[in-house]
Amino acid sequence: MADSLEGRAYARWLIGEAGTVRVGDAAVPCTVVNVSAGGMLLRTAARGEAGDRVAVALAGLLPFDARVVRTGDGEMAVAFDGGPQYVFR
């Protein structure tokens, strides 16, 4: 579903859920700012660069495999590896 106000491919939902992002061997706390069928925006001190593989774990859910698409100002945007069908399996 496209969000015409922001020109995005998928609608975003504000979450505020605590979790953990794993970058390499480091597991770092994060907060999910928002989530869509395509990815998540995380607030975290984790270090990563565009293209890095990560796993995001939230309470009660299997970890989501993703890749970093951008970082900055204490945030990390990630895209799900399998696209929308990965999330809605």
To the question of domain 13-87 being in CATH 2.40.10.220, the answer is yes
Supply the pLDDT for residue 3. Answer: 41
Supply the pLDDT for residue 6. Answer: 63
Supply the pLDDT for residue 4. Answer: 41
Residue count (the chain): 89
Domain spans, the chain: 13-87
Supply the pLDDT for residue 63. Answer: 86
The tens-digit pLDDT sequence of the chain (89 residues) is: 334 446 677 788 888 999 999 999 999 999 999 998 889 999 999 999 999 999 999 988 888 899 999 999 999 999 998 755 555 54
Q: Could you tell me the pTM of the whole model?
A: 0.82
Supply the pLDDT for residue 52. Answer: 97
CA dihedral 63, 21, 39, 8 (to 10 degrees): 160
Supply the pLDDT for residue 1. Answer: 36
d(CA 47, CA 62): 22
48 close to 79: Cβ distance less than 8 angstroms = no
